[in-house]
Structure 1
Amino acid sequence: MATIIFVLLLWYGGLFFQSFFLHRYAAHQVFTMSKTMERISFVLTWIFQGSSYLSAYGYGIMHRMHHAYTDTEKDPHSPSHDDNVFAMMWKTKTIYSDINEERIIVDSRFTKNVPQWKGFDKFASSRFSRFLWIVGYVMFFVFFTTAWWQWLLLPITFLMAPIHGVIINWFGHIYGYVNFKMKNTSKNLFRFDFLMMGEGYHNNHHKHASSPNFGFKWYEIDITYLIIKILDAAGFIKLKPIPVRRS
């Protein structure tokens, strides 16, 4: 039971900080936070994503490019231009690394105000850091696994962030329903997004990219947005004025 709880904690903890910090803050900046809160968010993202840690700088820029070039050859990740899910994952990794390590020149419209903490990112993204997390995960499984099939969950802990990305960027452009007809293949994966905490409302998000709430219909409950509302009310962050959304 402890192993299942541990994997779920990593799944939803890592997913929350990917959605809250990397996606809605770094890429879309739908709310503001103090420098202290920003640094805390960097550290918590590293703790929950662990061996699959993603930099806010690399993620934020790449995601902005995804919105600008959705389903075109310039899209960093698109089922329309990648032969299979593994080809897309490798392409995404390559582009992310090139951006994060500043090996390529990026249009200034994609870099504006994207948070960057070079010193911390260098450590959190290092092979040493990733190796330590992997060793920690293995040791946890050694001490707490009670059935052979639970070991099948171990690779998920190593690759949590890429798995989250594949669910949205591959399956979220192939399967599901649409609320808005658009010139791209984005779809909503779930009526109630219990699995991806609101990230599954991908069609809604492509239509209203500047909205902090990815849900649109009454039954499309965006769990991450509810937490954001609580953090805003408590004064930890400040939501920007929410734009009027039309169908």
Structure 2
Amino acid sequence: MLAIILFFVLHWYLSLFAQSFFHHRYAAHKAFTMGKGWERFFFIYSYITQGSSYMSPRVYGIMHRIHHAYTDTEDDPHSPAYDKNIMAMMWRTSITYVNIMYGRMEVEERFTKNVPNWGWFDRWGNTWYSRILWSAVYIWFYVVFAPSAWWYLLIPVHIVMGPVHGVIINWFAHKYGHVNFETDNTSKNLFKVDWLMLGEGYHNNHHKFPSRTNFAAKRGEFDPIYPVIVLLLKLKVIRVTTVPVKAQSVHS
């Protein structure tokens, strides 16, 4: 049982780190830069940790930029305001993702500028062969280590881990929670201390300050990924491109 719990927790947080650090803060917002070698490293890291729900950093970056430009409008790739339920929103998001991935949708140049791109790698990660292979790995792990068949109910969560993370923010953080800052959209903060979503739950903060490396903004809030960013800055793995690190925290 311990092996299953540990596996689930590691998959949840390691894949979420890839999405928040690499796809969101780097690919979409360019809150920091990194060399090509480190970029390829995080491509591979994302593929390993996201597995069957691997998302192209390029496509994610484009979609998220569109989301910020058209939040809560009919052009938003994922908005509770234009979808009747979670499944409808997820379906529309997936269609938009596939259309961008395979060039079936015209995208404004401003959304494609400087997004990371590793063509053949992304194409492989988005094949059904890759997704089925990773799904088989998850099933094998549960067959070997699960103490009973009831634990198999967690397997679908592993298979669609990325979309699960996405829907928590894209649906719930636009419907529920509290507001720190007035914005022109429905973004809200889900938590006061966001351990569950590694800072992504500070969605209202993020819509107010999209390019900040630290998603926490007020006293008592904590973004678990921000200390990692500070460490990577000190190790010269990344370089901040927006405001100085010391100016990232805003207390009120």
Q: What's the TM-score, normalizing by structure 1?
A: 0.97
Report the alpha carbon displacement of residue 149 of structure 1 after superposing the two structures with TM.
3.1
Question: Deviations for 1:66-97, whole angstroms, at most 9, x for unmatched residues?
Answer: 00000011100000111110000000000011
Report the alpha carbon displacement of residue 148 of structure 1 after superposing the two structures with TM.
3.6
Aligned counterparts, 1:74-93, within 5 A: 74-93=75-94
Aligned counterparts, 1:1-247, within 5 A: 1-242=2-243
* Structure 2 SS opposite 1:146: coil
Report the alpha carbon displacement of residue 241 of structure 1 after superposing the two structures with TM.
3.9
Q: What is the CA–CA distance in structure 2 between the aligned matches of 1:204 and 1:149, rounded to whole Å?
A: 39
Report the alpha carbon displacement of residue 182 of structure 1 after superposing the two structures with TM.
1.4
Report the alpha carbon displacement of residue 225 of structure 1 after superposing the two structures with TM.
1.4
Q: What is the CA–CA distance in structure 2 between the aligned matches of 1:182 and 1:19, rounded to whole Å?
A: 22
4+ residue runs over 6 A deviation: none
Q: What is the CA–CA distance in structure 1 between the aligned matches of 2:165 and 2:220, rounded to whole Å?
A: 22
Q: What is the CA–CA distance in structure 2 between the aligned matches of 1:210 and 1:85, rounded to whole Å?
A: 27
In structure 1, list runs of 5 or more residues that go unmatched: none
Percent of aligned positions that are identical: 53
Q: What is the CA–CA distance in structure 2 between the aligned matches of 1:241 and 1:118, rounded to whole Å?
A: 27
Q: What is the CA–CA distance in structure 2 between the aligned matches of 1:90 and 1:186, rounded to whole Å?
A: 21
The AA in structure 1 aligned to 2:104 is R
Count, aligned residues: 247
Report the alpha carbon displacement of residue 218 of structure 1 after superposing the two structures with TM.
2.0
* Structure 2 SS opposite 1:238: strand
The AA in structure 2 aligned to 1:97 is V
* Structure 2 SS opposite 1:187: coil
Question: Deviations for 1:186-233, whole angstroms, at most 9, x for unmatched residues?
Answer: 000000001000000000000000111100012110011111111111
Report the alpha carbon displacement of residue 240 of structure 1 after superposing the two structures with TM.
2.0
* Structure 2 SS opposite 1:32: strand
Question: Deviations for 1:111-143, whole angstroms, at most 9, x for unmatched residues?
Answer: 000011101011111111111100000000000
The AA in structure 2 aligned to 1:39 is R
Q: What is the CA–CA distance in structure 2 between the aligned matches of 1:181 and 1:221, rounded to whole Å?
A: 20
Q: What is the CA–CA distance in structure 2 between the aligned matches of 1:236 and 1:147, rounded to whole Å?
A: 43
Q: What is the CA–CA distance in structure 1 between the aligned matches of 2:13 and 2:146, rounded to whole Å?
A: 20
* Structure 2 SS opposite 1:80: helix
Q: What is the CA–CA distance in structure 1 between the aligned matches of 2:100 and 2:146, rounded to whole Å?
A: 38
Report the alpha carbon displacement of residue 101 of structure 1 after superposing the two structures with TM.
1.2
Report the alpha carbon displacement of residue 183 of structure 1 after superposing the two structures with TM.
1.4
Q: What is the CA–CA distance in structure 1 between the aligned matches of 2:205 and 2:98, rounded to whole Å?
A: 28
Q: What is the CA–CA distance in structure 1 between the aligned matches of 2:205 and 2:189, rounded to whole Å?
A: 7
Q: What is the CA–CA distance in structure 1 between the aligned matches of 2:27 and 2:112, rounded to whole Å?
A: 10
Q: What is the CA–CA distance in structure 1 between the aligned matches of 2:77 and 2:211, rounded to whole Å?
A: 20
* Structure 2 SS opposite 1:64: helix
Q: What's the TM-score, normalizing by structure 2?
A: 0.95
Contact 2:187/2:203 (8 A) holds in 1: yes
More moved, 116-125 vs 236-245 = 236-245
The AA in structure 1 aligned to 2:32 is F
Report the alpha carbon displacement of residue 105 of structure 1 after superposing the two structures with TM.
1.3
Q: What is the CA–CA distance in structure 1 between the aligned matches of 2:46 and 2:233, rounded to whole Å?
A: 19
Question: Deviations for 1:34-67, whole angstroms, at most 9, x for unmatched residues?
Answer: 1000001001000000000000111000000000
